[in-house]
Amino acid sequence: MTALQIPNITLNNGTSIPQLGSGVYLVAPGEAEGVVSSALEAGYRHIDTATIYENEAEVGRAIASSGIPRDELFVTTKLWNSDQTRAAEAFDESLDRLGLDRVDLYLIHWPQAMFGEALGAWKSLIEIAESGRASAIGVSNFEISDLQQLLDETGVVPAVNQIELHPLHQRRELVAFCAEHGIAIEAWGPLAQGKSDLFERPEILAAAAAHGKTPAQVVLRWHVQQDRIVFPKTTRRERMLENADIFDFALEADEMAAIDAYEAGTNLGPDPRTFDVR
């Protein structure tokens, strides 16, 4: 199985992460192993899962059966909200389900400031990183105030912040804060989860026609030209290959600006400031 030619981004602790990955959020139980196997066969080497996805074991089986050397893979999983006070134990449980002795990136899944537990969880993640069992640590869905607390209290900067980000919800202030502090942005829902008219908008259609690409490829290119890491969700091999075919062209400045102009503050997922599911 030949790896796709996907660029790496260097995180703030020197860890290299492939800029395009395969995520298994909302992949039905019993399907994740096949989806990850297909992604690995297609040439993906970056897999993103989480405890709450309930498919870590399937991801682990696909990795084990792939025969791909561990050091050629980048595996991310996440600490669920109800586990923030027992992060060390939860991490061990994730490793057991994955069948791995380390992950490449471990994230706190949601900040849940209303419970006040994220800082303690972050301190546990720091210890996990120091043990060598997570090459890098970071957060997901954190707002500026959540990030500032971690920086003020520990001085340890998250390697990444994985957030909902797409042309309709660009999070510019948060992105600027992360850039200022060397925190890489991972975009989940980068294509607006198929819940918008993005792919019918004339500017995207024009760019797609000009470059011989699909509207989805144009949107993904808009992301990667801004040095973001992306996880476009799909269970279909042909779409996996299409999503990866975005590194042989570049959008012009006016094409980028046209997509920038779509900013509407439209989040399609939960609001991180109020999300309290545990």
Integer Cα distance of 88 and 105 in angstroms: 14
Predicted confidence pLDDT, tens digits, the chain (278 residues)? 799 999 999 999 999 999 999 999 989 889 999 999 999 999 999 999 999 999 999 999 999 999 999 999 999 999 999 999 999 999 999 999 999 999 999 999 999 999 999 999 999 999 999 999 999 999 999 999 999 999 999 999 999 999 999 999 999 999 999 999 999 999 999 999 888 999 999 999 999 999 999 999 999 999 999 999 999 989 999 999 999 999 999 999 999 999 999 999 999 999 999 999 99
Burial class (CB in 10 A: 0-12, 13-18, 19+), 131: exposed
Task: Return the active site residues.
Answer: 53
Q: At what angle do helices 32-42 and 56-66 cross, to 10 degrees?
A: 40
Q: What are phi and psi of 181, to 5 degrees?
A: -105, 5
CATH code, residues 15-190: 3.20.20.100
pTM of the full structure:
0.97
